Amino acid sequence: MIKKINLLIPLVWLMAMACNNQQSTIKPILVTEAVKHDSDDPAIWINRQDPSKSLVIGTDKHEDGALYVFDLQGRIFPEKVVRGLKRPNNVDVGYDLVLGKDTVDFAVTGERLTSMLRVYSVPDMKPIDGGGFPMFEGETAPEHRDLMGIALYQRPADKKTFVIMGRKTGPSQGYLWQYALEADSLGQLQARLVRKFGKFSGVKEIEAIAVDHELGYVYYSDENVGIRKYYADPEKGNEELALFGTEGFADDHEGISIYTTENGRGFILVSDQQANSFRIFPREGEAQDPHSHQLLKVVRLSTKESDGSEITSLPLNDMFKKGLFVAMSDDRTFQYYRPEDLLDSLLKK
């Protein structure tokens, strides 16, 4: 009898651990309708007149690709979907771009197979780029023009807008290229290269890029290595400010999202892709060192190998009172979460 009990103890322990792991997986509030081919990266557009009518824009990463537009219930707006894009990878959203006498909100994405930056007005999703802008001109290797990550920076001081673009591979220095996005004297949009910056380990690739507009930093995932941090303002130089998250990831460092709270505080969420988890770091760093980002928490989500994500702390509706976290899942969908379900006790500190 004693031997039987001893044999049962490990089995009971394993069953309990499996139960605990299952309970610790956070479920989404809802899952979007599926895209046609391959979901990859989302962005959130805030409708400032009526936040309940805000939109989620997500990429379908395929040679027959598209930008899909969803409402806060995860339903696709068929009339807003931008089709015919050649493998759009990542997407970002900006506000109040000056075009002549008008200002528009807009979305940007990069077509990998054409090496073109594409720009669309939001919420109507009409092209405002004259067919697109060539990126990484002068690079002779095709893979050095194979567009991947993208992020917008809108400088608070003068509202100047910049696009920060990444590619499949590139040099160990100057991996990211930054462009000023502005209208000419005729009100036509232009993209002008202003700097090349950013280290690359050469280990794998760089895809995820995110900008903290308020604090003025850009973060990007050097996959299998860590998260790198620089000034987003090209006038502040190209010094690397931090390399963090170098331990604990199962494999790829992926999507980066920044949740803002009061007084420059908040959280940086980074996808641990193969672990189906997100690792959370303090946005403000430490009191003695704002560039020291030590791990606060790991949360396991229902996403499958999430590549891209986006988050806002602005209240949107009765379902998302403290904002919205959207993460891509490798099943052609995007998943919607309440940020407080992920951050939990961190929000109470």
Measured CA distances, 68 to 37, 113, 178, 329, 334 (Å): 11, 19, 26, 15, 11
Domains, in order of start, for the chain = 2-348 (2.120.10.30)
Alpha-carbon torsion (215, 220, 225, 231), positive or negative: negative
Print pLDDT tens along the chain (349 aa): 444 444 433 443 344 344 444 448 999 999 999 999 999 999 999 999 999 999 999 999 999 999 999 999 999 999 999 999 999 999 999 999 999 889 999 999 999 999 999 999 999 999 999 999 999 999 989 999 999 999 999 999 999 999 999 999 999 999 999 999 999 989 999 999 999 999 999 999 999 999 999 999 999 999 999 999 999 999 999 999 999 999 999 999 999 999 999 999 999 999 999 999 999 999 999 999 999 999 999 999 999 999 999 999 999 999 999 999 999 999 999 999 999 999 998 997 6
Q: Are 257 and 310 in contact, with CB atoms under 8 Å apart?
A: yes
Confidence (pTM):
0.92
Burial class (CB in 10 A: 0-12, 13-18, 19+), 89: buried
